[in-house]
Amino acid sequence: MEIGSQNNYLVAVIGAGPAGLYAAKQLASQGVYVVLINRDIKPGGLAEYGIYHSKHKMKGGLRKQFRRILEVPNIEYYGNLVVGKKGDLTLKELDALGFQAVLVTVGAQGTKWLGLPGEDLVGVYHAKDIVYHYNKLPPFSQKQFAIGKHVALIGVGNVMLDIARWLIRDVKVEQVTAVARRGPKEVKFTKKEMESVARNLDLEALDDEIERVAPLMEAVGQDAAAAKAFIHSALPKAQDPVSESCFTFEFLASPSRIIGGERGEVRGLEVEDTALVPKNGDTKAKRLGTKRILSVDTVIFCIGDRVDEDFGLPVRWNEFVKSPEPRYPVQGNSYEAYDPEAERPVDRVFVAGWSREASSGLVGVARKDGERGAQAVLQYFETQPLEENIAQVLEEFRSRLSKLSKKVVTKGEWQRLEVQEQAEAEKLGLEEFKFASNQEMLEVIERPTPQPAD
């Protein structure tokens, strides 16, 4: 690709989800030459593999935006390329190659667990893996999940509801129980999200459960009736049920262990009763010592994600460490990676999106943070001389990639794959089609591009 005279700086953006894509767009618009590096073959990240699989209109709109971003001439794309201590490239290699800055937007590639006895049993999963599975992200797309009839979901956020929706509307299990350490006032989903499964709620059981925890809620000034009304508010516009699945809640119940059977399978979930206690204007759960067992055969953790500790940056509290005194703050936030042991910023490395701070998982939030991370990089460039050897750095970078024993996917190849998947969807009469494995995608890239019909 020809380097225009208007390109004055060179940045590697790692991660091609919403944060990385919109950061690349922001940087490119200011004359920065961007190399966008992505773990997956296809760009999109959260928007491609995190949004519920049937939200075709939303995904289509986002893909259209991403397509326009990747058409920008001074953005190069390299997919199927992993950066990390155990990856194809390391941060130190990118620095040695001559990139003037690296913006890390890799998101939360790790999973968070509670460390309970029994987490290694057959039938225990993390929501992230299942979301990747039904969104057909390799290799999760090919993984088999042994889902039983009675499923416990740990957590009461929007991810829990996505998993509940999949279990109730796609898998059609008998029973789904959402387990929460705190009460119905602290649920983290929206009325809109609840509408997908509200008609499967066991309303009598819900009323009984809220009546049970009402005294403990009132003890900390919470309105049990209002919490109940919020959940019920999803009913008027709820989707028609497609299964006989029963959806219930267990509030003020902290998981303590997963009980296994003789063959190493899940047979139950032990929970400890909790009470609410005030803390810094909010509440926390206090264990009461009394325990009971829920009869379930599958447990899915919906409790959040964590960054990859093997990526190559210091980690604290599930996030990459940021400079406490940023030199290039944006709206009061730090986007500079930091080494707490050396007590100094990591030279020329910035973080944005989930890599900077655990988010709600909304595309709009990721976009804004990616753009702000780009602004921090641009502030840094104001203090740096122009790069005169962009073409040479890119040549060395591409030479390094050519020595890898794997296929790295370029922008043009990804565009060819997208055309092929669209053609398959039209042929099969589907709204969307995805090849389920990396091998299939790489083979398809080598095929001739289908020509549109006259």
Q: What is the 3-state secondary structure (H, E, C) of the chain?
A: CCCCCCCCEEEEEECCCHHHHHHHHHHHHCCEEEEEECCCCCCCCHHHHCCCCCCHHHHHHHHHHHHHHHCCCCEEEEECCCECCCCCECHHHHHHHCCCEEEECCCCCEECCCCCCCCCCECEEEHHHHHHHHCCCCCHHHCCCCCCCEEEEECCEHHHHHHHHHHHHHHCCCEEEEECCCCHHHCECCHHHHCCCHHHECHHHHHHHHHHHHHHHHCCCCCHHHHHHHHHCCCCCCCCCCCCCEEEEECCEEEEEEEECCCCEEEEEEEEEEEEEEECCEEEEEEEEEEEEECCCEEEECCCEECCCCCCCCEECCEECECCCCCCCECCECCEEEECCCCEEEEEEEECHHHCCCCCCCHHHHHHHHHHHHHHHHHHHCCCCCCCCHHHHHHHHHHHHHCCCCCCEEHHHHHHHHHHHHHHHHHHCCCCCCCCCHHHHHHHHCCCCCCCCC
What local confidence, expressed as pLDDT, does residue 354 receive?
A: 87
What local confidence, expressed as pLDDT, does residue 78 receive?
A: 98
What local confidence, expressed as pLDDT, does residue 1 receive?
A: 43
What local confidence, expressed as pLDDT, does residue 316 receive?
A: 87
User: Going residue by residue through the chain (454 aa), what tens digit of pLDDT does each one get?
Assistant: 445 446 689 999 999 999 999 999 999 999 999 999 999 999 999 889 888 888 889 999 999 999 999 999 999 999 999 999 999 999 999 999 999 999 999 977 777 788 899 999 999 999 999 999 999 999 999 999 999 999 999 999 999 999 999 999 999 999 999 999 999 999 999 999 999 999 999 999 999 999 999 999 999 999 999 999 999 999 999 999 999 999 999 999 999 999 999 999 999 999 999 999 998 888 999 999 999 999 999 999 998 778 888 999 999 877 899 999 999 999 999 999 999 999 999 999 999 998 898 766 678 889 999 999 999 999 999 999 887 789 999 999 999 999 999 999 999 999 999 999 999 999 999 999 999 899 999 999 987 665 555 5
What local confidence, expressed as pLDDT, does residue 386 receive?
A: 83
Please count the other Cβ atoms lying within 10 Å of the Cβ belonging to residue 404: 12
Q: Which residue ranges form the domains of the chain, and what is each CATH number?
A: 9-109+306-406 (3.40.50.720), 113-303 (3.50.50.60)
What local confidence, expressed as pLDDT, does residue 450 receive?
A: 57
What local confidence, expressed as pLDDT, does residue 446 receive?
A: 85
CA pair distance 363, 386, nearest whole angstrom: 33
**What global pTM score does this model have?**
0.90
What local confidence, expressed as pLDDT, does residue 451 receive?
A: 59
